[in-house]
Amino acid sequence: MATSHSKITSAEGRGIVVRGDEIDTDRIIPARFLKTITFDGLEHHLFEDDRKQLKERGQTHAVDRPEYQGAHVMFVASNFGCGSSREHAPQAIARWGINAIVGVSFAEIFAGNSTMIGLPLATATAQDIERLMAAVEADPTVPCRLDLVAKTATAGSVTVPVSMPDSLRSALMSGDWDATSLLVDRYDEVEKVAADLPYVSGWI
Amino acid sequence: MARTLFQKVWDAHTVRVLPNGQTQLYIGLHLVHEVTSPQAFAELRERGWPVRAPQRTFATIDHIVPTRAQARPFADAMAESMTEALERNCRDYGIKFFDLASGSQGIVHVIGPEMGLTQPGMTIACGDSHTSTHGAFGAIAFGIGTSQVRDVLASQCLALSPLKVRRIEVNGALRPGVYAKDVILTIIGRLGVNGGTGYAYEYAGEVFDRMTMDERMTVCNMSIEGGARVGYVNPDDTTIEFLRGRPYVPKGVAFDKAAAWWRGMASDPGAPYDDVIRLDGAEIAPTVTWGINPGQSVAVHAQLPRPDDSPSGDRAGLVEALDFMGFRAGQPIAGTKIDVAFIGSCTNGRLSDLREAAHVVAGHHVAKHVRALVVPGSQKVAIAAEKEGLDQIFRDAGFEWRGAGCSMCLAMNPDRLEGREVCASSSNRNFKGRQGSPTGRTLLMSPAMVAAAAISGEVVDIRSFPVAAPAAV
């Protein structure tokens, strides 16, 4: 009964650069937009408060820049997605049109949540991320690509090696990134493990 | 072979290794709340899956619940519909719901331990990053996203990769005026906000051995602020005595059996660790965050960092934080004027936290320009505090006494900062916009320090604050 999802081996398109370390999930999607029972429309509030504050200073957030509209590959810095477990954060990013994020590092729960919705994340050294970001900023029209097979990220003429946890990479490549089908299979094995736990069996 | 608690719990709950190399891990307790579950239940319905273990699943409302006007329907239509969705989901799937009428409602990480649902040696999952709190009992507790909430509902399992284990030993004795909150803020300051990525933190040593369960929960709660998804303390007599007699804890002979199993789950002497860090408890000072992540903190008697004197990699972050906070490099943190004081949250909203704060405020009055509120972590905490007269001490001092909920920790309810207000807060996150105003500013500190700041109208050192004699409380 295991249903497979699409196999994700690469993501490509134009790039978008979101600079800054420690961009937390409250900044990606402020908590007030979690007052919903669906994920619909979250993309409209992506980075909402950061965007507004920059606008007030006469600056423009990456997400509002005309040259980045329609981008599919996002480049970020370190510990991106730190903070809460809200899946609304990767949901908002994916619904905005992003198919892959390449950064220096990601917070763990954010990384897990992203994989669960088929949004691949890859990391590269700070120097290599800087080269990718510089290439996109110099010419936002250059083609960008995350290649899961070759484990590389490309922005125009810059191609760098990237890392991904093997389990997440293979889950995306095999189409098993939505683990639920695997987990609900063979429930007899689950029951066997549960029965051996004294707190489940009732301390008999 | 000697094993850590993490390894023992992991091994006991492993169902199988999945084709992608992840482990299918059985989850012993699933806690559900209104914000991260509706989409998960919707998908369950869509796929026609049942909830596999409703008897191991418990729900409450905390994030969106108003702490003042709690009559239904809530004034906020969206809060009302989220509550109705959870009510319907619990009813349809046979899940126990600690709702407002139950007398047991509260912040999910306060009520789990309070009801005795949280027990040593368990795996626990909840769609909230502060699920690490439950590690205080020697459970392995994961904060998860909504798709994983769906997984646990549908299969009582998660697909996860094992974590490394870092033992953080704090020995010696804490000095007066230094609390569990200061210990964890100091650890995060030392190891960094992403230092724990890929790790479970095992908190050990004399300081944690002596801590109460409430204090251990404060520490484990903020593990995620240091990047560690899981944090735990090995179960001991303190753990076992805390659990004795609680509603969901076994009784009689079964309790003795349970206690023996719980003890056996503690890390073995000589267990291998991927990393060990040692700190001296006596060196920890009352700590206050000054910036926009929980790692940006200083001792209350110290000055803010100077970006020019900092490693180049940190400079941009420090400049951004100083700019957002409107603070000067090198300025002292003590004396910073505050507008709001918030005592509560899953970090510091338990009875002992309210006692500490009440002890500080007794005989004083909140500064004229300060809006101060106390939000108990659960209905049971509120009742116990009222029985001791703590609510009256707070009210007499000019604090508002509210109903249980997450309140101003994340402002998904009517409690929030306005404009550029500065809030002395006993919560866990000082991110930009966290407390509801996009430009609001948060200073994290212990409940006692929040209380002292509320009275003084500015950040003060609790060690020099004139606390009334204990008899006054």
pLDDT for B153: 98
Query: Maximum Cα–Cα distance for chain A, whole Å?
Result: 68
Same domain, B58 and B201: yes
Pick the residue of B51, B157, B163, B249 with the most A CBs within 10 A to test the interface with A by mutation.
B157
SS3 B5: helix
User: Which value, to the nearest 10 degrees, does the dihedral of the CA atoms of residues A91, A96, A99, A102 take?
Assistant: -90
Q: Average pLDDT in the A90-104 region?
A: 98
Average pLDDT, chain A: 95
Closest-CA residue of A relative to B117 is: A199
Same domain, B246 and B341: no
pLDDT for A3: 47
Same domain, B321 and B446: yes
What chain A holds in terms of domains, given with CATH numbers, is: 10-175 (3.20.19.10)
Contacts of A199 in chain B (CB under 8 A): 28, 119, 121-122, 258, 261
Q: Count Cα neighbours of B245 within 13 Å in the Cβ-side half-sphere.
A: 2
Contacts of B438 in chain A (CB under 8 A): 30, 49, 52-53
Same domain, B347 and B252: no
Within a domain: B280: no
Interaxial angle between packed helices B38-47 and B146-155, expressed in degrees from 0 to 180 and rounded to the nearest 10? 50
HEC readout, chain A: CCCCCCCCCEEEEEEEECCCCCCEHHHHCCHHHHCCCCCCCHHHHCCHHHHHHHHHCCCCCHHHCHHHCCCCEEECCCCECECCCCCHHHHHHHHHCCCEEEECCECHHHHHHHHHCCCCEEECCHHHHHHHHHHHHHCCCCEEEEECCCCEEEECCEEEECECCHHHHHHHHHCCCCCHHHHHCCHHHHHHHHHCCHHHHCCC
Same domain, B430 and B463: yes
pLDDT for A165: 92
pLDDT for B470: 54
pLDDT for B469: 60
Within a domain: B372: yes
Domain residue limits at B156? 5-264
Give the residue from A104, A113, A55, A112 showing the smallest Cα distance to A80.
A104
Those residues of chain B that have pLDDT short of 50 are 471-473
Residues recorded for chain B: 473
A-proximal residues of B, 153-212, CB under 8 Å: 154-161, 193-194, 197-198
- Nearest-CA distance B119 → chain A (Å): 9
The answer to whether the CB atoms of B194 and A170 lie below 8 A apart is: no
Same domain, B135 and B209: yes
Torsion angles phi and psi, residue B63, rounded to 5: -65, -45
pLDDT for B434: 96
B-proximal residues of A, 108-127, CB under 8 Å: 108-109, 112-113, 116-117
Same domain, B231 and B359: no
Euclidean distance between CA atoms B317 and B132, whole angstroms: 27
- Nearest-CA distance B149 → chain A (Å): 10
Q: How large is the ipTM? A: 0.95
Same domain, B353 and B453: yes
Same domain, B165 and B45: yes
State how far the alpha carbon of B364 is from the alpha carbons of B72, B357, B387, B401, B465, in Å: 36, 12, 21, 16, 11
The answer to whether the CB atoms of A176 and B250 lie below 8 A apart is: no
Closest-CA residue of A relative to B222 is: A83
Same domain, B342 and B453: yes
The answer to whether the CB atoms of A182 and B18 lie below 8 A apart is: yes
| pLDDT at residue A167 is higher than 90 | no
A-proximal residues of B, 247-276, CB under 8 Å: 250, 254, 257-258, 261
pLDDT for A175: 87
pLDDT for A181: 84
Within a domain: B216: yes
pLDDT band at A186 (very low <50, low <70, confident <90, very high): confident
Contacts of A120 in chain B (CB under 8 A): none
Q: Is B288 on the interface with A (CB under 8 A)?
A: no
Same domain, B297 and B253: no
Would you say B70 and B31 are in contact if contact means Cβ atoms under 8 Å apart? no
Name residue, tokens 């869509």: B46
pLDDT tens column, A14-59? 999 999 999 999 999 999 999 999 999 999 999 999 999 999 999 9
Which among B20, B320, B410 is the nearest to A167, CB-wise? B20
pLDDT for A4: 54
Q: Please tell me the total count of domains within chain B.
A: 2
SS3 B203: strand
Same domain, B55 and B168: yes
